[in-house]
Amino acid sequence: MYIKSDRELELMRAAGRIVAETFEKLKEVIKPGITTKELDHIAERFIRDSKGIPAFLGYGGYPASICASVNEEVVHGIPGRRMLKEGDIVGIDIGAIYEGYYGDAARTFGVGNVSEKAKRLIEVTKNSFYRGITMAVEGKRLQDISHEIQTYVESNGYSVVRDLVGHGIGKNMHEEPQVPNFGESGKGPRLKAGLTIAIEPMVNEGRFHVRTLSDGWTVVTADGSLSAHYENTIAITVGEPEILTLI
């Protein structure tokens, strides 16, 4: 696990702010009739205008600057001609690089008027992140976070995706340690101040099983149920964790 210096944390705050501000920009335009490709163009332009670099573009061959995952799509949906419709939900994942350091976050948005069950899924997913970070303090074990997320999600009647997990982040998009959203408490490495991790619950309305589409990227629920995603990059401190991807 790579512990960041104060200077490195400053650069990660700057990267995280670009990500957070990009979400604010997209939130204004996520409405019925816009395509996911249009969202991608808006995000890329804003990141570059903010002196950042889109972190996802070209990463492992990924062809866009954001991920846009609609309804049963869990993560890694490739932006394209798909037009968002009234009642859809869309998970947007954004990464930005600033002076060599990464920020990474995700939000799920309702498009126009969405059903109460979709609103609840989005809210529980977001809340599970905040329940998880109550355990993100120096001296706790990594899977204390994982267990708290899983317990909260399952107590609300949903499931957490097992095939995909959060991750360390810093000079690289993905660093050690992996951060699962499920598991037994008291396991994993002890958390230390200066560790930066991306915690990202992916929550399914149905079962946790997923599959990847033929494009090699888009992950969907195996049973076709709705899925939501919420993520922030955080820094472990001697006190409360610092969320680096919120304004």
Compute the Cα dihedral for 198, 13, 18, 134 and give only its sign. Answer: positive
pLDDT of 48 reads 98
Reported confidence tier of residue 33, pLDDT bands at 50, 70, 90? very high
Percentage of the residues of the chain whose pLDDT score is greater than 70: 100
pLDDT of 228 reads 99
Give pLDDT tens digits for 176-197. Answer: 999 999 999 999 999 999 999 9
Q: List the structure tokens of 201.
A: 């619950």
Confirm whether 1 is domain-assigned: no
Give pLDDT tens digits for 49-93. Answer: 999 999 999 999 999 999 999 999 999 999 999 999 999 999 999
Gyration radius (Cα) of the chain, Å: 17
Q: Number of folded domains in the chain?
A: 1
CATH number at residue 19: 3.90.230.10
Domain that holds residue 39: 6-240
Question: pLDDT at residue 164 above 90?
Answer: yes
Question: pLDDT at residue 1 above 90?
Answer: no
Confirm whether 245 is domain-assigned: no
Confirm whether 163 is domain-assigned: yes
What mean pLDDT do residues 144-167 have?
Answer: 98
Confirm whether 114 is domain-assigned: yes
Confirm whether 247 is domain-assigned: no
Strands 89-98 vs 53-54: parallel, antiparallel or unpaired:
antiparallel
pLDDT of 118 reads 98
Question: pLDDT at residue 24 above 90?
Answer: yes
Confirm whether 246 is domain-assigned: no
What mean pLDDT do residues 202-215 have?
Answer: 98
Confirm whether 167 is domain-assigned: yes
DSSP string covering 12-73: HHHHHHHHHHHHHHHHTT-STT-BHHHHHHHHHHHHHHTT-EESSTTGGG--SSEEEEETTE
Give pLDDT tens digits for 224-239. Answer: 999 999 999 999 998 9
Measured CA to CA in angstroms, residue 228 lies from 43, 68, 108 at distances of: 20, 11, 6
Q: List the structure tokens of 163.
A: 């095939």
pLDDT of 54 reads 98
Question: pLDDT at residue 168 above 90?
Answer: yes
Confirm whether 104 is domain-assigned: yes
Question: pLDDT at residue 218 above 90?
Answer: yes
Question: Which stretch of DSSP H or E encloses residue 107?
Answer: strand 101-110
Give pLDDT tens digits for 92-121. Answer: 999 999 999 999 999 999 999 999 999 999
